[in-house]
Amino acid sequence: MATTTASITIASSDIIPGMAMNYYKTATLFKAGGCVGLEKIISGRKDYTSTSAQTLLDQSVVVTDEETVTANKANKLYIKNLSTDSTEYATITINSEDLGRLYAGDWLFIPWSAEDSSADVKITPSVATSMKFDYVLVHE
């Protein structure tokens, strides 16, 4: 059985003046409804040169391939904006819902249900110059 673990650490000594903050959480990623670890992965890097919405993950492609994602299961998605220019960002959307902006160096880690053809994960860069993004989808 594969074991995939995700962890996050948030630490700051100056968010609240005079009070240090340390937050650490870890989780083992399991298949839906059980204690068997997620064992499949899709990953890559995409380079965008347009300010129009671009598909990062096409739900119809990843769901129909029997070796990939199962809709409405325990799919976990990581995306990182590799830009080093602090003014550059990308808006992330799923099913036309705005999840927010990823600025240079920002990342996200979310569940993704991939339930229907509207569930594509899209990126809309703020600039038409080259913006690169890493992504990892851990799934059943």
Q: What is the model's pLDDT at position 57? A: 83
Specify the CATH superfamily of domain 32-139: Jelly Rolls (2.60.120.10)
Q: What is the model's pLDDT at position 1? A: 60
- Position 37 pLDDT exceeds 80: yes
Domain ranges of the chain: 32-139
Supply the DSSP string of 56-119, one letter for each residue.
EE-HHHHHHSTTS--TTS--EEEEEE----TT-EEEEEETTEEEEEEETT-EEEEE----STT-
- Position 135 pLDDT exceeds 60: yes
- Position 46 pLDDT exceeds 70: yes
